[in-house]
Amino acid sequence: MNYQKIMMSVLILFTVTNCSETNGIFGKTGSGSDPFANISQTSLEYFSNEIGDTVLFKVNQSVIEPDYRETLNSQAEWIKENSITSVTIEGHADEQGTREYNLALGARRATAVRNYLVSKGVSESNLSVVTYGKERPLRICSEESCWSKNRRAITIIDVSSS
């Protein structure tokens, strides 16, 4: 556990340092072609596009997959560094479920993200969760390629709160 924590901290440190030196993961491609080169690291675009505001889930699951830990670690750091005090986490489901169950499932997903961020030091009182169930799909085809993008939790920053 301690080892994991230390590793995670090192990872965060590395990520943050890396970002500040190269303007993000696309930095190595050169600033001329970097779409984020002119985006301030404190901007919402940076949060949404560079860090990533979305976590995806498996069918009927609300477990944070290992692939998304880094995203959430960065989210937590960004929220803390920018002194954001109001964050809403939306939980969503794909259309392959009943309305009520999907509302409950979306709440589970949003809460999983909230709990992760809290575990990384974000104040719980700054985070609120809302479920949309299957009411607000991002993609509208009725295939797994869309459903996989709809089973999501999105971290939304209230800019007025920083």
The answer to whether residue 92 forms part of the interface with other proteins (CB under 8 A) is no
Sheet holding 54-56, edge to edge: 54-56, 152-157, 87-92, 127-133
Size of the site for other proteins (CB under 8 A): 31
The answer to whether residue 148 forms part of the interface with other proteins (CB under 8 A) is no
Joined tokens for residue 74:
């960065």
Asked if 75 and 47 touch (Cβ cutoff 8 Å), the reply is: yes
Q: Looking at beta carbons only, is 46 or 132 nearer to other proteins?
A: 132
Stretch that binds other proteins, among 6-14, 15-23, 39-47, 105-113 (CB under 8 A): 105-113
Distance in angstroms (rounded) separating the CA atoms of residues 97 and 83: 38
Beta-bridged to residue 91, according to DSSP, are 131, 153
The answer to whether residue 59 forms part of the interface with other proteins (CB under 8 A) is no
Mask of contacts with other proteins, 13-52, x by CB under 8 A? Answer: ----------------------------------------
